[in-house]
Amino acid sequence: MKKIAVFSTTDIFTTRSKVMGKDGRSWLLLDKKAHIVDGPSIRQFYSTGRLEKALAEGYTVLVGSARTRFGQHDMWWIGLVGGIENVYFSMPHGHENHNEMCGNGYHRIFERLEIPWPLEKDGKRVFWSRAIHDLAPHIKQGHEFKPGKY
């Protein structure tokens, strides 16, 4: 059985150096992965630990995003997920390959998994963030699925 996890970049990293622990009282310090010097400011990026956990559990991680390009702060995790073939960013408007279905990176994840994009009752395509939450029931036979927020 192939184990697949679909993550957003927000599932992988944050700009906060600590998060509240599951007990609701203690803080967990996060592992710093990147920093960007942006003029007079320095932006820090920290791993949420979710990607590392999914990989340790044997998941193939696919990353989708509504963003249209990579940043310097993305390089550390792209290698962990197996390279850009497992990363699906959006096509910029005006790009020759931009259309309603492939414009958003998540649409291409559905195509790769051979799953139809979910529809509203009136037949319109659901918004991408809802589609990701609705992905689990649509996953094809022989795959175990976990969303990035587990």
Dist. CA 29–CA 92, nearest whole Å: 35
Report residue 141's pLDDT band, with 50, 70 and 90 as the boundaries: very low
The residues facing 124 across adjacent strands are: none
Dist. CA 44–CA 135, nearest whole Å: 32
Angle value at C-alpha 67, between 82 and 113, nearest 5 degrees: 50
Dist. CA 78–CA 118, nearest whole Å: 27
Number of domains in the chain: 1
pLDDT tens-place string over residues 10-41: 888 887 776 666 666 665 665 666 655 566 66
- pTM, full prediction: 0.74
pLDDT tens-place string over residues 109-134: 888 888 888 888 998 888 777 777 77
CB 8 within 8 A of CB 63: yes
Q: Which residue range(s) make up the domain with 69?
A: 2-147
* Residue whose entry in the numeric block shows the structure tokens 């390279």: 83
pLDDT tens-place string over residues 38-88: 666 667 888 888 888 889 988 898 998 878 888 888 888 999 999 889 999
Q: Is 39 left (phi over 0), alpha (psi -120 to 50) or beta?
A: left
Kindly state the tokens that stand for 144: 């175990």
